[in-house]
Amino acid sequence: MKAADRVLLALDVPDEIAAEAVLARVGPGPGGVKVGKQLFVAAGPAPVRRLVASGRRVFLDLKFHDIPNTVAGATREAVKLGVTFLDLHASGGREMMRAALDAASDEAARRGAARPKLLAVTVLTSLDGEALRETGVVSTPEAQVLRLTNLAREAGMDGVVASPREIAAIRKEMGKEFLIVTPGIRAAGARDDQKRTLTAREAIRAGADYLVVGRPVIAAADPAAALAALVAEIEEATGRGCA
pLDDT tens across the length of the chain (243 residues): 899 999 999 999 999 999 999 999 998 889 999 999 999 999 999 999 999 999 999 999 999 999 999 999 999 999 999 999 999 999 999 999 999 999 999 999 999 999 999 999 999 988 989 999 999 999 999 999 999 999 999 999 999 999 999 999 999 999 999 999 999 897 644 454 555 678 999 999 999 999 999 999 999 999 999 999 999 999 999 886 443
Instruction: State the number of CA atoms in the 13 A half-sphere of 194 facing the CB.
Output: 24
pLDDT at 73: 98
Q: Which residues are catalytic?
A: 63
Q: Which residues of 15-40 are buried (b: 16+ CB within 10 A; e: fewer)?
A: ebebbeebbeebeebbbbbbbbebbb
Domain 3-236 has CATH 3.20.20.70: yes
Nearest to 171 by CA among 147, 192, 146: 146
Contacts of 208 (CB under 8 A, 6+ apart): 6, 164, 167, 180, 181, 182
Q: What is the pTM of this model?
A: 0.93
pLDDT at 240: 61
pLDDT at 28: 87
Give the 3-state secondary structure of residue 243.
Answer: coil
Instruction: Report the largest interatomic distance among the alpha carbons of the chain, rounded to a whole angstrom.
Output: 53
Contacts of 135 (CB under 8 A, 6+ apart): none
CA distance 44 to 77: 12
Query: Please, what is the Cα angle at 19 between 184 and 65, to 5 degrees?
Result: 55
Q: Secondary structure of the chain: what % helix, strand, coil (to 5)?
A: 50, 15, 35
pLDDT at 196: 60
pLDDT at 6: 97
Number of other residues whose CB lies within 10 A of the CB of residue 100:
28
In terms of DSSP H, where are the helices of 135-199?
A: 141-154, 167-174
